[in-house]
Amino acid sequence: MYNGAFLPSGSPMHTNHIKVRGYHLDVYQHVNNARYLEFLEESRWAFFEDYPLVEKIHGHNLAFVLVNININYRRPAFIQELLEIRTRVAKIGTKSCTIEQTMYLKDTDTLVADALVTFCVLDQATHQAVVIEGEVRELLEQMSL
Amino acid sequence: MYNGAFLPSGSPMHTNHIKVRGYHLDVYQHVNNARYLEFLEESRWAFFEDYPLVEKIHGHNLAFVLVNININYRRPAFIQELLEIRTRVAKIGTKSCTIEQTMYLKDTDTLVADALVTFCVLDQATHQAVVIEGEVRELLEQMSL
Amino acid sequence: MYNGAFLPSGSPMHTNHIKVRGYHLDVYQHVNNARYLEFLEESRWAFFEDYPLVEKIHGHNLAFVLVNININYRRPAFIQELLEIRTRVAKIGTKSCTIEQTMYLKDTDTLVADALVTFCVLDQATHQAVVIEGEVRELLEQMSL
Amino acid sequence: MYNGAFLPSGSPMHTNHIKVRGYHLDVYQHVNNARYLEFLEESRWAFFEDYPLVEKIHGHNLAFVLVNININYRRPAFIQELLEIRTRVAKIGTKSCTIEQTMYLKDTDTLVADALVTFCVLDQATHQAVVIEGEVRELLEQMSL
């Protein structure tokens, strides 16, 4: 199990809110485990949008490819609860990059879930993972400050 | 509300089975209304696969475009129930085609849901709906016998 | 197919916005037909929340039960598009109630989808549909003005 | 990232098949990352069904609570591909249990994804995690042989 070694709380990050609805729940009356991954994806798109990340990546004929998600389910989320999802670039490796996402009950310290989401950068012509460098690396570094 | 005028029960059709799982349910402990549409879509793909329908359509540079779904929710479906989805071509119009799908509790007369699903056939070059004719019409007619 | 006879445009209604993301799409690169029903459900919950509708219903030991959805798919929705979903109570019958929901590209007249969503009101003790009257009827009437 | 240390290939396991459909894909024309978790959940329910695991758990007034999913996305899955999901109990700890699930293209050695899924066993009266022992432990051990 991943033990979150979170970045300092002063670090910049993206914050997004999602309200739990009846259709997010499953037989246990909690948000279903797969639905959390949609909440995380929604929040990553919103984060990337604030930077020209997707455009920059595509402009270099590259693509992000998801290689791993490691998610801890800390506390069930119930109907009507308002979740705050915080997203940031946690680590930039040679050929991969890890996004950290934490999900809190809004205005509380109650952690609902946290996840590390790891991508490779793929050259769309060769379909090979490439070294993260140049403009793309600079942008990711800005997103992790 | 659509009042099902079902084809004679002797008509050919496609039959598919789906077991209700915990993640299909929502806050009401019934299968969620949107999930039924996935069950119907799953069953249509399986039906189309038995004929070379998709290949034939694409071979003529055409595409099916969904224009309407009219679904009656007759009785909630609960966890562990086994659903039988019956699918057939119900009506072939000039430029549209209607698929009828009914969902029963397997081995019973209990109707869970029924739907009419209407498509147009689109020319992928002009993006206009076209008259359903020739090979495509013949195939749809076979699928409605 | 349902031909929308929309209420006068001056009528009050609830408005909600959803941005189309990559995970809403399917093989056709359009929002998947089932996903629209989640967009509609999200918007209904947000509408109901603005009134104490759900609390009032439950307070009388009643429940809303979905009986029909009739949805027209007018124009595909693509990634990054911002949808405006407008929701109102369109018709209050003796034992059922119909919600009308229309989905536009925000700040345009481009209609993406429209739907009629019909509910019955069920007595949770007897599991029978009941006449919509008293406080519940009054509240629904307020929501349809 | 989890580096799969798979159990010997001779170990018993549960096998399930899912065909990739158009509605499983997203903007990248691959199965969406969240959808894999539904494929895994479907396969776990089918596995548990073959044993009286859920009944046994509930009979002791216990519940399984998901605490972590660690999933590697090894190779995108495309439309029409037939996936084989193999599921087994990989590890039984004092208070938690880990299920291993691997997803292959059927009849090939092509690994699409693999995941470790970790549960705690919760006493439904106290809402505390309890030691896995007695009948439940014996059953899990049978499922891991």
Q: Residue B96: pLDDT above 60?
A: yes
Substitution target from B28, B38, B68 for chain C, most C beta carbons within 10 A: B68
Chains with 3+ CB–CB pairs under 8 A to A are B, C, D
First-to-last CA distance in chain B? 26
Instruction: Note the pTM of the prediction, 2 decimals.
Output: 0.92
Question: What share of chain B has pLDDT > 70, as a percent?
Answer: 92
pLDDT (0 to 100) of residue A58: 86
Smallest CA–CA separation between C29 and chain A, in Å?
A: 17
pLDDT (0 to 100) of residue A47: 94
Chains with 3+ CB–CB pairs under 8 A to B are A, C, D
Which H helix or E strand runs over A47? Answer: helix A33-50
Q: In this structure, what are the phi and psi dihedrals at residue A5, rounded to the nearest 5 degrees?
A: -105, 85
Q: Would the CB atoms of C23 and D27 count as touching at under 8 Å?
A: yes
Other Cβ atoms closer than 10 A to B52: 13
Burial degree of D127 (CB within 10 A; 0-12, 13-18, 19+) = exposed
Q: Residue D6: pLDDT above 80?
A: no
8 A C-beta contact, residue A67 and residue A119: yes
What's the whole-number mean pLDDT along residues B66-71?
98
8 A C-beta contact, residue B65 and residue B118: no
Q: Residue C116: pLDDT above 90?
A: yes
Sign of CA dihedral B99, B102, B107, B108: negative
Q: Which residue of A has its CA nearest to C35?
A: A23
- Residue B80 CB contacts under 8 Å (≥ 6 apart), including other chains: B19, B20
Per-residue pLDDT of D67-117, as tens digits, reads 999 999 999 999 999 999 999 999 999 999 999 999 999 999 999 999 999
CB pairs under 8 A between C and D: 26
**CA D2-A100-D78 angle, 5° bins:** 60
Cα within 13 Å of Cα(A14), Cβ side = 23
Q: In whole angstroms, what is the distance from residue B1 CA to residue A105 CA?
A: 41
pLDDT (0 to 100) of residue D114: 97
Burial degree of D105 (CB within 10 A; 0-12, 13-18, 19+) = middle
Write the single-letter amino acid at A105. Answer: L
Question: With the CA atoms of C87, C88, C89 and C90 taken in that order, what torsion angle do they form, in degrees rounded to the nearest 10?
Answer: -100
A34 interaction partners in chain D (CB closer than 8 Å) = 34-35, 37-38, 41
pLDDT (0 to 100) of residue B9: 45
Phi-psi region of C137 (alpha: psi -120 to 50; beta: other; left: phi over 0): alpha
Per-residue pLDDT of D18-72, as tens digits, reads 999 999 999 999 999 999 999 999 999 999 998 888 888 888 899 899 999 999 9
Kindly state the tokens that stand for A38.
């949609």
pLDDT below 50 — which residues of chain A?
1-10
pLDDT (0 to 100) of residue D12: 54
pLDDT (0 to 100) of residue B12: 54
Q: Residue B41: pLDDT above 50?
A: yes
- Give SS3 for B25: strand
* Residue A123 annotated to the active site: no
Q: Which of B96, B101, B103 has its CA nearest to residue B132?
A: B96
8 A C-beta contact, residue C36 and residue C101: no
Q: Would the CB atoms of C71 and B69 count as touching at under 8 Å?
A: yes
Greatest CA separation found in chain A? 48
> Comparing C75 with B2, which gets the higher pLDDT?
C75
pLDDT (0 to 100) of residue D1: 41
Q: Residue C41: pLDDT above 80?
A: yes
By residue count, chain B amounts to 145
Greatest CA separation found in chain B? 48
pLDDT (0 to 100) of residue A54: 86
Q: Residue B7: pLDDT above 60?
A: no
Question: With the CA atoms of C23, C29, C34 and C35 taken in that order, what torsion angle do they form, in degrees rounded to the nearest 10?
Answer: 40
Q: Residue D2: pLDDT above 50?
A: no
Q: Which of D127, B34, B121 has its CA nearest to residue A30?
A: D127
- Residue C111 CB contacts under 8 Å (≥ 6 apart), including other chains: C74, C75, C102, C103, C104
pLDDT (0 to 100) of residue B51: 87
Q: Which of A18, A23, A8 has its CA nearest to residue A144?
A: A8
Burial degree of D28 (CB within 10 A; 0-12, 13-18, 19+) = middle
Q: In whole angstroms, what is the distance from residue A12 CA to residue A3 CA?
A: 21
Instruction: Enter the ipTM.
Output: 0.92
Sign of CA dihedral D98, D31, D23, A30: positive
8 A C-beta contact, residue D93 and residue D132: yes
Q: How confident is the model at residue C5 (pLDDT cuts 50, 70, 90)?
A: very low
Q: Residue B4: pLDDT above 90?
A: no
Burial degree of B114 (CB within 10 A; 0-12, 13-18, 19+) = buried
Q: Which of A108, A112, A105, A90 has its CA nearest to residue A44?
A: A90
Smallest CA–CA separation between D83 and chain C, in Å?
A: 18
- Give SS3 for B101: strand
Mean residue pLDDT of chain B comes to 90
Of B21, B41, B42, Cβ closest to residue D41: B21
pLDDT (0 to 100) of residue D3: 44
Kindly state the tokens that stand for C114.
């429209």
pLDDT (0 to 100) of residue B6: 46
What's the whole-number mean pLDDT along residues B53-60?
88
Mean residue pLDDT of chain C comes to 90
Burial degree of B54 (CB within 10 A; 0-12, 13-18, 19+) = middle
Partnered with residue C87 across adjacent β-strands are C14, C101
Smallest CA–CA separation between B113 and chain C, in Å?
A: 9
8 A C-beta contact, residue D2 and residue A70: yes
